[in-house]
Amino acid sequence: MASRGFFSVILHAFVFATVVTLGFSQLSPNYYDYSCPNALRTIKSVVEAAVQKENRMGASLLRLHFHDCFVNGCDGSILLDSSPIIDSEKNARQNNQSARGFEVVDEIKQAVDAACGKPVVSCADILAVVARDSVVALGGPTWEVKLGRRDSTTASRAAAEANIPLPTLSLSELITSFRIHGLDEKDLVVLSGGHTIGFAHCATFRGHIYNDSNIDPNFAQYLQSICPQNGGDENLAPLDSTTANFDVAYYSNLVQKKALLHSDQELFNGGSTDALVKQYSYNTQAFFADFRNSMIKLGNIQPLTGHQGEIRVNCRKVNC
């Protein structure tokens, strides 16, 4: 029985790797070169305007792509509103009241379709590109986004709640959560670096600042002035000390025990990821290089390609 169980695990891993590889093999950075050569330029201009208007929007757009890919693959399912046949992922506890940027995606979709003359670019591809362009707009690295994803016709709130990591997870739980999606410990540390931009609600870090011991006491006291033990769930605090800049301050904060979230401080808490956090805290070049690679891996999680799914006319609902 034990050997049969081990074989089942190996088979599952092989099938997952095969699905990811086959999907990725059909993606190309030149996918829209002929059907809509102005697509990427159009997306970039809208993203830059949105981030310039509100720095927080860059973090929101990056988070949408991350949360989308962690549910049923990078298929744009997070953008679907609730309907009689859709239980929207927007209502999952990890997204409700915190996932933002949907209006910007709508604006991009309209602008791109106008530039293309018809709906050519998928909402899933838009999310992948805006994640990159948002990071660049805030001073971070760029990378080549392979395109050709198609949009899902379903969404699952239950799957979102089961797969998107919670801010209360331990290091071992985080490692498992990422491994399920084909991402390793290094990807975990690198992609968590996306928290160098943006804010979090009081409800997500209250437990850390009142109950955990692995936090700088002065930092905890400061955060307690923002986030009381009762009430104030929607109050915001920055995820790192330079929230408008994509840099390595996030990792420096972890080393100083000044992480906002419990799950972030778990990356530097005497465990297997400490050394990598310490390296990134003083080596921007290494972080940027590894962030590029991990974002490419993230965007490669089970994309719909070929004749799978559809190209949505409206990112918020499936085509009629």
**Identity of residue 232:** G
CA 295 – CA 54 distance, rounded (Å): 23
Token reading at 219: 């930092």
Known binding residue 305? Answer is no
Q: Which of 319, 310, 317, 248 is nearest to 90 (CA)?
A: 317
Q: Which residues pair with 83 in a beta bridge?
A: 86
Report the Cα 12 to chain-centroid distance in Å: 24
Q: Which residues pair with 156 in a beta bridge?
A: 87
CB–CB of 121/113 below 8 Å?
A: yes
Q: Which of 92, 105, 14 is nearest to 60 (CA)?
A: 105
Known binding residue 172? Answer is no
Known binding residue 241? Answer is no
Known binding residue 75? Answer is yes
Known binding residue 240? Answer is yes
| Residue numbers annotated as active site | 67
Known binding residue 294? Answer is no
What residues contact 282, with CB distance under 8 A and at least 6 apart? 248, 252
Alpha helices in 199-240 (DSSP H): 202-211, 217-226
Hey, CA dihedral for 160, 268, 278, 176, is it positive or negative? negative
Known binding residue 73? Answer is yes
Known binding residue 89? Answer is yes
Hey, CA dihedral for 43, 45, 50, 55, is it positive or negative? positive
Give DSSP secondary structure letters for 79-90. Answer: GPPPBTTBB-GG
Known binding residue 196? Answer is yes
CB–CB of 160/95 below 8 Å?
A: yes
Hey, CA dihedral for 212, 185, 192, 98, is it positive or negative? negative
CB–CB of 127/151 below 8 Å?
A: no
Token reading at 39: 């697509």
> Would you list which residues are annotated within the binding site?
68, 71, 73, 75, 77, 89, 165, 195-196, 240, 243, 247
> Would you list which residues are annotated within the binding site for heme b?
195
> Would you list which residues are annotated within the binding site for substrate?
165
> Would you list which residues are annotated within the binding site for Ca(2+)?
68, 71, 73, 75, 77, 89, 196, 240, 243, 247
